[in-house]
């Protein structure tokens, strides 16, 4: 799935437990977890090292300023450092108006900065064929020039790649009443919105129409929290080996974590940024300075 360069990995299961988009329309029934099951990784007091990123704004999609990019990466770093010993550090900001695929955008940046490349690229874009705008984001990688060695070594693609997260910066988490458009069409949820609960009231929150039953969710705590958590989610996919099955609470994830069949905790799903907890362990082990 994600081993094809910049292929969309957020298919029907992307954040299926954390949002309300057409491909994220239903949730399994909540199952009370066993009190003996531990699923969260150890929380650390702060980053001891950084995963460096360059932000590239695809200006053919939407404008995002340097200041906005700095806040986005800072927020993602704060979330990530509560779950791992690492944070994210913004080392460059660029704008690209040339167009083409996000793969092309990444390759242009790499060619122009061959002597000082980061661990990863965050491309703020609607994505190829609007995939990031629809789902929130997707992941991939590009091969770095000869001589480059990434200090975070993917267990599946090695140390010669630069990891990529294509992120829709202004994504509407739990959007309500839009019916797949950019403008409000209804005062209640339609077409699978609000976790497939049609008729849910829409309210104004974070500057757009949101499902009333989502305003207190972690992902709705700030206007760009979903974009920040997506940065984490997309990069982590390069350090997992089971594709969509490495999402939170899939049967494969629950089995690996020792959870009962059908285990699901919505609040924990959002705290874990939609990923199986053991993927964080993979990331921690990948650091080879």
Q: Return the domain boundaries, the chain.
A: 49-173+219-286, 175-215
Strands 208-211 and 202-205: antiparallel
Fold entry, domain 49-173+219-286: Collagenase (Catalytic Domain) (3.40.390)
pLDDT digits (tens, 9 = 90+) for 127-147: 999 999 999 999 999 999 999
**pLDDT > 70 in the chain, percent:** 84
**CA distances in angstroms from 276 to 37, 207, 265, listed in the order given:** 14, 31, 12
Q: What angle do CA 77, 221, 48 make, to 5 degrees?
A: 15
- State the helix-helix crossing angle for 277-286 and 225-236, rounded to 10 degrees: 60
pTM, 2 dp: 0.84
The parts of the chain modelled with pLDDT lower than 70 are 1-46
pLDDT digits (tens, 9 = 90+) for 78-92: 999 999 999 999 999
């Amino acid at each position: 799935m994600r081993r094809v360069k910049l292929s969309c990995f957020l298919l029907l299961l992307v954040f299926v437990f954390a949002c309300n988009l057409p491909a994220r329309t239903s949730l399994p029934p909540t199952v009370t977890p066993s009190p003996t099951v531990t699923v969260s990784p150890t929380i650390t007091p702060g980053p001891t090292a950084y995963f460096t990123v360059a932000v590239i704004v695809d200006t053919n999609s939407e404008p995002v300023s340097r200041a906005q990019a700095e806040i986005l990466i800072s927020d993602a770093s704060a979330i990530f450092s509560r779950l791992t010993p690492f944070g994210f550090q913004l080392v460059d900001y660029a704008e690209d108006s040339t167009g083409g695929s996000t793969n092309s955008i990444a390759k242009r940046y790499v060619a122009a900065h061959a002597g000082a490349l980061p661990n990863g690229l965050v491309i703020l874009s609607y994505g190829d064929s609007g995939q990031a705008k629809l789902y929130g984001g997707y992941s991939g990688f590009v091969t770095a020039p000869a001589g480059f060695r990434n200090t975070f070594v993917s267990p599946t693609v090695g140390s010669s790649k630069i990891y990529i997260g294509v992120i829709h910066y202004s994504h509407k988490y739990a959007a309500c009443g839009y019916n797949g458009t950019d403008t409000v069409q209804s005062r209640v949820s339609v077409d699978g919105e609000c976790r497939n609960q049609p008729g849910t009231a829409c309210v104004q929150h974070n500057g757009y129409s949101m499902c009333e039953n989502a305003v207190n969710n972690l992902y709705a705590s700030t206007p760009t929290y979903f974009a920040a958590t997506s940065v984490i989610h997309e990069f982590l996919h390069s350090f997992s080996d089971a594709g969509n099955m490495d999402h939170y609470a899939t049967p494969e994830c629950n089995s690996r974590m020792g959870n009962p069949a059908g285990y699901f905790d919505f609040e924990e799903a959002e705290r874990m940024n939609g990923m199986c907890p053991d993927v964080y362990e993979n990331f921690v082990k990948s650091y080879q300075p």
